[in-house]
Amino acid sequence: MQRRARPLLGTWVEIGATSGHESGFGAIAAIQARLSRFEPGSDIARFNAMPTGGELSVHPVTVEVLTAAHRLHVDSDGLFDISLGSGSDAWCLDGDRLHKLADGVVLDLGGIGKGHAVDLAVLALQAAGAATGWVNAGGDLRVFGELELPILLRNDACGGGVREFARLADGAFATSHYAPGSRSAASRAVQAHVSVAAPRCLWADALTKVVALSSRCDHPLLARYDAAAWQHDAPRLA
């Protein structure tokens, strides 16, 4: 098993596998080029720059993530919102055509796209012949094959050190940082952390936002996606 890391998705991405590392990193770089709002030529950046009434043809991977995001928005009664409050009903997807319906609406797939990138990296590794391994994109983690990977918590408030929180086998685990009482699950004034385990990293990544914003580790959506959630008040993931 070889471990390699590379800066992608605004964080460090680590891949541990017996082979196929370049295929995994390539898959993530391709997703970043399509979905990141910071990439000028991405589908999302082009949408954000369009005037009202504009439309554009988007890549199949963008269609997949936008469809999943819309489904989560509906199922969470609006908690999951890739428009970040700028207009959840001001965009629509018709096949592979993305339409902008109002001024000011911008989309940000940071709360779901990173998880999907991890899933696609795993598929790329498997296609390249890796039977066992993991992909970790800044805390969005997926493990595959005959492997149990320990998940560690770090507690800086109590003098540092780490402790094993769980072991992950053939599944995904994601964590979001947020300030209790805040509507922003991405707040960097971190006082709490929500973690979600699910079969796919796309769902684990997105559901951390639903759990954080609802303050419910028993949110009904978790069961629908075969997921489980935890809140960590002081420790943070190592």
In whole angstroms, give the CA distance from residue 204 to residue 78. 18
**Domain-located, residue 131:** no
Q: Is 80 within 8 Å of 209 (Cβ atoms)? A: yes
**Domain-located, residue 16:** no
Q: Is 17 within 8 Å of 24 (Cβ atoms)? A: yes
Q: Are residues 231 and 165 in the same domain?
A: yes
Instruction: Indicate the residue among 100, 125, 151 that finishes a domain.
Output: 100
Looking at residues 137-160, what average pLDDT do you find? 83
- Taking CA atoms, 191 is separated from 45, 83, 183, 185, 228, in Å, by 31, 24, 14, 11, 21
**Domain-located, residue 110:** no
Supply the pLDDT for residue 188: 37
**Domain-located, residue 7:** no
**Domain-located, residue 9:** no
**Domain-located, residue 174:** yes
Question: Can you read off the two tokens belonging to residue 46?
Answer: 């082009």
Q: Are residues 153 and 212 in the same domain?
A: yes
Instruction: Indicate the residue among 74, 100, 126 that finishes a domain.
Output: 100
**Domain-located, residue 23:** no
Number of domains in the chain: 2
In whole angstroms, give the CA distance from residue 25 to residue 13. 8
**Domain-located, residue 134:** no
Q: Is 4 within 8 Å of 12 (Cβ atoms)? A: no
Q: Are residues 211 and 160 in the same domain?
A: yes
pLDDT digits (tens, 9 = 90+) for 84-137: 999 999 999 999 999 999 999 999 999 999 999 999 999 999 999 999 999 999
Q: Are residues 92 and 163 in the same domain?
A: no
Say which amino acid occupies 100: K
Q: Which domain covers residue 59, as residue numbers? A: 37-100
Q: What is the pTM of this model?
A: 0.90
- Taking CA atoms, 136 is separated from 83, 102, 104, 133, in Å, by 26, 37, 34, 10
Instruction: Indicate the residue among 75, 100, 125 that finishes a domain.
Output: 100
Going by pLDDT thresholds of 50, 70 and 90, the confidence category of residue 189 is very low
